[in-house]
Amino acid sequence: MKLKIISLVAILALTGFVFQGHPKISRQQAEKIALKEIKGGKILSGEFEKEDGKEIWSFDIKVGKGIKEVWVDPQTGKVIKVENESPAHESREK
């Protein structure tokens, strides 16, 4: 029984299931990806967080007179979501 549990833990660890929370994409890499998506923008803030049940790198990027929120997948580096930030949305997040 103990061997089965150890084997299961090893399999889960190898698939990344147990160790979620450790992004493969660094913050610096994620910032570059987000800025490539929002050309001419400047990062105001960023964090590694859980949103809608997903672990993400989230960045607020100033572009022109507005702010865009960009989510980057911490495992693949793909941009998951880009949306306009509004003052109402900002206050709900805080």
Interval 68-84: pLDDT, tens:
999 999 999 999 999 99
Instruction: State the pLDDT at residue 73.
Output: 97
- pTM comes to 0.71
Q: Let me know: does 68 contact 81? Beta carbons within 8 Å.
A: no
Give the integer Cα–Cα distance in Å for 82 and 63: 13
Give the integer Cα–Cα distance in Å for 94 and 87: 11
Instruction: State the pLDDT at residue 3.
Output: 55
CATH code of the region 23-93: 3.10.450.40
Q: What is the pLDDT of residues 5-57, one digit of tens each?
A: 555 444 444 444 444 568 899 999 999 999 999 999 999 999 999 998 999 99
Q: Let me know: does 36 contact 82? Beta carbons within 8 Å.
A: no
